[in-house]
Structure 1
Amino acid sequence: MTSTLVVGGSGGLGAVIARHFADRGDDVVVTSRDKARAEATAARIGPGTRGLAVDLGQPETIGAALADVTEVDHVVITAVGQAANSLAQFNVTDAVAAVTMKLVGYAETVRVLRERFNPGASVVLFGGLAKERPYPGSTVVSTFNAGITGLVRTLAVEIAPHRVNALHPGLIGDSPKWRDVPEPPHSAQTPIGRLVTMAEIADATEFLLRNTGVNAHDLHMDGGLLAT
């Protein structure tokens, strides 16, 4: 049975991705900083899914937190920390916490699991379109999402022959943040005439994990927005 770990899989997009892999028969582990939330999500997804508490914001604790994950085929790291933080009103504490979680935490998770990868194991790290399309208050978000590109490229060398890719979504139309907004930003600008969906993001995640020829790649899931 395929073993899939979704870090940050206790809600929103992460939970949809976890369910996607559970529905195809994978043995799935979902994580949250809060153990009860991770376990509740696992229970909703169903048998074969379990929850663990992992805090990427405290990288020194990740090894112990993942001790029960003894082997893995697929690792998906979706965890986010995207509080607005502009240069004009820069919060250093928040910036350090966000970058630590997104870059150091992501890297440490892969390092901890590397020796437990099954043959053919692969990794998908989540960034975001803010690295290409900054917006007011995205100083830190744009920076760490751009950092995901560099992290993927160096990890592809360091964990070879295992593969690692990055997925950078634009706004997701049916996400909790945007699904009830009548006219969300960018929807009229995309060539497809709408925002992408969580199901499309989950499908793209599976493609990156499955396709053995795709490595060290940044996949932008934006409905073509970058072409406009």
Structure 2
Amino acid sequence: MSSVVVVGGTSGIGREFARFRAGRGDEVVLTGRDAHRADTLAKEAGAARGIALDLSRPREIAPALADVGRVDHLVIAGVFRDDNRVAEYDIDAALRLVTLKLVGYTEVVHTLRPRLHDDSAIVLFGGQAKERPYVGATTVATVNAGVGGLVNTLAVELAPVRVNAVHPGVVGDSPYWLGKPEEVRAGLRARTPTGRLATMGDVVDAVDFLLRNRSVNGVELAVDGGWLLG
């Protein structure tokens, strides 16, 4: 049995991963911004417990994680969907996302570092907007590219702890994409070599692989069915 911490585990892929690992018998701690929701969803997922934690408020991260013990696997999946562009630049939204991804992610690792061990592994979440930006992705594309730099420096500084990133493309059955019109998803499928969009299960499997395989380190793994080739 492994001890697993999933930061951003109350929705989307983070929630699916927490449920997957709890179902496998691991001791899972998940976090979310709202204490009641984190506790409720932890019970539903079979996780050990839920913790309230807001990545965009990094000074509150250490106290929130104070009583977390040994960590075998750490997944930081918290995201914030920001629609920002230079023509109509929202500084507050940009600061929130930059803080959440680059400062918040780092502070989680900093806080939990004493509880990691030589065989621990970390997976950070980025996204393929870094490779295929769209109008409104000014901040999203920038911070997801920054996740790659963070992976590299953490893998060197924390060695032999392994650090990798997963960069999902369009995840067709995620709450966000299910809310899009079917013709939008169909158009994306048509431009993907596999003829299908990535699923949350695909991403969960990729994250689990990155955590398990002891020779994979400093890797940025795209999970998009070859979408960038379309």
Q: Same fold (TM over 0.5)?
A: yes
Maintained 8 Å contact 1:43/1:49: yes
Listed as ranges, the gaps of 5+ residues in structure 1 are: none
**Secondary structure of 2:81 counterpart:** coil
Identity value in percent? 52
1:18 corresponds to which letter in structure 2? A
Q: Is the 8 A contact 1:170 1:222 kept in 2?
A: yes
Contact 1:19 1:45 in 2 (8 A): yes
Q: With structure 2 as the length reference, what TM-score do the two structures score?
A: 0.96
Deviates more, 1:64-73 or 1:122-131: 64-73
Matching residue of 1:212: 214
Whether the 8 Å contact between 2:170 and 2:197 is mirrored in structure 1 is yes
- 3-state DSSP of counterpart to 1:213: coil
Residue in structure 1 matched with residue 203 of structure 2 by the alignment = 201
- Say which is worse superposed, 140-149 or 75-84, in terms of deviation: 75-84
CA RMSD of aligned residues (A): 1.0
Quick one: which amino acid aligns to residue 34 of structure 1?
D
SS in 2 for 1:89: coil
In structure 2, the partner of 1:55 is 54
Bigger Cα displacement from structure 2, 116-125 vs 198-207:
116-125
Counterpart for residue 73 of structure 2: 74
Q: Give the 3-state SS of the residue equivalent to 2:79 in structure 1.
A: coil
| Alpha-carbon separation, structure 1, partners of 2:131 and 2:82 | 18
Is the Cα–Cα contact under 8 Å of residues 126 and 167 in structure 2 kept in the other structure? yes
Instruction: Give the equivalent residue in structure 1 for 2:114.
Output: 115
Taking structure 1 as the reference length, what is the TM-score of the superposition?
0.97
Letter of the 1:42 counterpart:
A
Contact 2:13 2:174 in 1 (8 A): yes
Unaligned segments of structure 2, at least 5 residues: none
Question: How far 1:203 sits from its partner (Å)?
Answer: 0.4
Report the equivalent of 2:155.
Answer: 156
> How far apart are the structure 2 equivalents of 1:2 and 1:207?
14
User: How far, CA to CA, are the matches of 2:58 and 2:166 in structure 1?
Assistant: 22
